[in-house]
Amino acid sequence: MRILFKTSYNDDIRLMKHGGYLFWYGLLLIAAFSAPLLLDDFYIGELAQVVIFAIAGLGLMVLVGFSGQVSLGHAAFLAIGAYTNALLIQAGTPFLIAFPVAGVVTALSGALISLPANRMTGLYLAIATLAFAIIVEQILVRWESVTGGFQGVAVDAPDLFGHQLWNPWELYLLCLVVLILVILGVLNILRSPTGRAMVAIRDSEVSAQSMGVNIAKYKTIAFSISAGITGLAGALMGHKFNYLSPDTFNIIISVQLLLMVVVGGLGSVHGAIYGAIFVGALPQILALARDVLPPAVAQTAGLEPGIFGLIMVLFILFEPLGLYGRWRKIKLYFDIFPLYRKATFKRQKAYLKTERMK
């Protein structure tokens, strides 16, 4: 087990807490960037999908995991980002401008939604965001002069300095770079006052307020950051599919995103990535399982969403900290071997309860 001695304030502030971080994340980076050399186009495409999911999941994680607000409407932000980016590019805007603009537009729409959403919490907020997603979907269908209605919009490959990224591996690398930048941005926010204020609101609104945190303002900021990041993911998604239509961004996508952050582990950046890998891999596993399962089960409509729901319920019941929580437990087990006890991660609930005597 490694013990850290902090000798300066910078030791506490820096992202890479010790050399191990540098080594392992460096290795991961090398592996991620060299994937196109090792894998064929199909898997690179799948990997790009996972990376895009991870970006969107990170967006939702900022909202759900760090500021404690639930959203069942993040597909709408994906859609806003995707359509803004696609339409701007169609109008002749270069990708390098259209892409960030899509993020900013989505962030602003997030800020707009947070105005009414700030008055709600929990289940009510989930319902309100769900309603928002449905409204956006309807707008995409009805506003034909702009969105093309059910016809959809064709999306050109992103154009970087006159070079069009048609190859799957080029798009994958682009998504990867965006993911890394987004991760760094989120980590920076989390280690500064804005991130701490969001976490404070999540844990206790009344005391956050008396520490000088403007609740409404920081909820709005959290919503905007979350929407903005999700919008970027949406824009990349448009490039991935080369085509956008309203039913790309249905309620299932929103639920999948929420599943990602819950399964990955609420309140951790790792969680969003683990969740994305999980959700990305699940359909493949299901496809394989279909071959084995009896046809009566395998052909059932709604098998996939049903299994998604089941997994979510099981995680909430048995591993509320998600995959990241499980990973930390395994790590600690080996760190302090053989001292790990089953109750190591159990929280002490209260001190005044007489239940302790049982």
In the complex, what is the shortest distance from the CB of residue 84 to other proteins, in angstroms, rounded to a whole number? 21
In the complex, what is the shortest distance from the CB of residue 45 to other proteins, in angstroms, rounded to a whole number? 31
Q: Which is nearer to other proteins, 72 or 189 (CB)?
A: 189
Q: Which is nearer to other proteins, 214 or 242 (CB)?
A: 214
In the complex, what is the shortest distance from the CB of residue 171 to other proteins, in angstroms, rounded to a whole number? 25
In the complex, what is the shortest distance from the CB of residue 15 to other proteins, in angstroms, rounded to a whole number? 9
Say which amino acid occupies 23: F
In the complex, what is the shortest distance from the CB of residue 205 to other proteins, in angstroms, rounded to a whole number? 9
Q: Which is nearer to other proteins, 1 or 38 (CB)?
A: 1
Q: Which is nearer to other proteins, 106 or 129 (CB)?
A: 106
In the complex, what is the shortest distance from the CB of residue 196 to other proteins, in angstroms, rounded to a whole number? 5
CB 81 within 8 A of CB 230: yes
Q: Which is nearer to other proteins, 167 or 209 (CB)?
A: 209
In the complex, what is the shortest distance from the CB of residue 42 to other proteins, in angstroms, rounded to a whole number? 36
How many Å apart are CA 293 and CA 81, to the nearest integer? 39
Q: Which is nearer to other proteins, 145 or 210 (CB)?
A: 210
265: left (phi over 0), alpha (psi -120 to 50) or beta: left
Interface residues toward other proteins, by CB under 8 A: 9-10, 12-13, 185, 188-189, 191-197, 199-200, 203-204, 206-215, 221, 267, 347-348, 351-352
Orientation angle between helical segments 193-203 and 168-190, nearest 10 degrees: 80
Residue 349, Cβ neighbours under 10 Å: how many? 8
In the complex, what is the shortest distance from the CB of residue 230 to other proteins, in angstroms, rounded to a whole number? 16
In the complex, what is the shortest distance from the CB of residue 207 to other proteins, in angstroms, rounded to a whole number? 4
CB 66 within 8 A of CB 219: no
Q: Which is nearer to other proteins, 12 or 144 (CB)?
A: 12
Q: Which is nearer to other proteins, 135 or 211 (CB)?
A: 211
Q: Which is nearer to other proteins, 125 or 266 (CB)?
A: 266
